[in-house]
Amino acid sequence: MSKEKRNVIITCAVTGAIHTPSMSKYLPVSPDEIADAAILAAGAGASILHLHARDPSNGKPTQDPAVFEGILLKIKKETDAVINITTGGSPHMTVEERMMPASVFKPELASLNMGSMNFGLYPMLDRFSEFEHTWERDNLEKSRDLVFKNTFQDIETILKIGKSNETRFEFECYDISHLYNLKHFVDRSLISPPFFIQSVFGLLGGIGAHPEDLMHMKRTADRLFGSDYQWSILGAGKNQMTLASMGAAQGANVRVGLEDSLWIEPGKLAQSSKDQVTKVRNILEELSLDIATPNQVRDMLKLKGSRHVAF
């Protein structure tokens, strides 16, 4: 007798702080473009929409709640997907800036980076040479001497805001130490299961993207959290589909989107985050895995429901 099929969560990150508008003409910038991209991704099977915002005048990442508002309202009107607001924002922002949208809108889910780290984006300067806006080159160049600040105090502050708003978290773990940081807060009873752990691979300053790195992350999370967590895989750049496939075969959920990779295949830009969702969904279904619906995700992660957000 065959076992019941597993439901896999697809998270889609439609835009973010890593890539710049000059790198791909398909990267959404305006609130309407970001919302439309998210809605299309949800229609293709993404049950969680991870959101950043950009200044529509120049494409620069922003945490201005006024910009987020239009994105959030349009998405909520058109889809029942779980909306996940970043508290990461950009490594160039203060923690206070990064926290604003999640504090104001009280989402079901928000991202939370689990440790300070070097965050090297400057190798992209070897691949992209022409930029429309001065800030784009500057952001990449400054990452040579940049620590993405997420201290224990920062994490504790965000956790307490989340608890007061009944917002749960996508814990973004870029290295093994971040899993131990998460365990520290679990031991202090500041976090309750299930923990949604987003393992991030392939960014300079974090863990690599070798299959052994993926296995090391899983072994460590299994040892620290047992059955109390939902695991998800984020492979940056060219690693996106390869690691998503490997992780899914080992029990993971997956994350895709133009925030994490501009590509749909080697040398070919993805025309939308929807394209990446469609591709990873096909891979999952070929593995005989079911795609989790938004309401199934709410049950899996014990979320408060979309009626209890502030937008």
pLDDT in tens, 118-143: 999 999 999 998 999 999 999 999 99
Kindly tell me if the per-residue pLDDT of 1 is higher than 80: no
Per-residue pLDDT, averaged over 295-302, amounts to 98
Confidence of residue 274 (pLDDT cuts 50, 70, 90): very high
Confidence of residue 6 (pLDDT cuts 50, 70, 90): very high
Burial (Cβ within 10 Å: 0-12, 13-18, ≥19) of residue 160: exposed
Kindly tell me if the per-residue pLDDT of 45 is higher than 80: yes
pLDDT computed for residue 3 by the predictor: 60
Q: Give the Cβ contact number of residue 197 at 10 Å.
A: 26
pLDDT computed for residue 5 by the predictor: 78
Confidence of residue 9 (pLDDT cuts 50, 70, 90): very high
Rounded CA separation 171/179 (Å): 9
pLDDT computed for residue 177 by the predictor: 98
Helix (H, G, I), strand (E, B) or coil at 216: helix
Per-residue pLDDT, averaged over 210-219, amounts to 98
pLDDT computed for residue 132 by the predictor: 92
Please list the residues that pair with 8 across neighbouring strands.
Answer: 291
Going by DSSP bridges, is the β-strand pair 290-291/48-51 parallel, antiparallel, or unpaired? unpaired
CA 138 to each of CA 68, 119, 132, 133, 200: distance values in angstroms, whole numbers, following the listed order: 24, 14, 12, 9, 24
Rounded CA separation 261/111 (Å): 18
CA 187 to each of CA 132, 191, 270, 292: distance values in angstroms, whole numbers, following the listed order: 47, 8, 42, 30
Q: Are residues 221 and 179 in contact, defined by beta-carbon separation less than 8 angstroms? A: yes
| pLDDT tens-digit series, residues 147-177 | 999 999 999 999 999 999 999 999 999 999 9
Kindly tell me if the per-residue pLDDT of 30 is higher than 60: yes
Q: Are residues 262 and 224 in contact, defined by beta-carbon separation less than 8 angstroms? A: no
pLDDT computed for residue 62 by the predictor: 97
| pLDDT tens-digit series, residues 79-119 | 999 999 999 999 999 989 999 999 999 999 999 999 999 99
Residue 87: which residues within 8 A CB-CB, separation 6 or more? 98, 99, 102, 110, 111, 112, 113, 158
Domains of the chain: 7-303 (3.20.20.70)
Average pLDDT value for the chain: 96
Q: Give the Cβ contact number of residue 268 at 10 Å.
A: 10
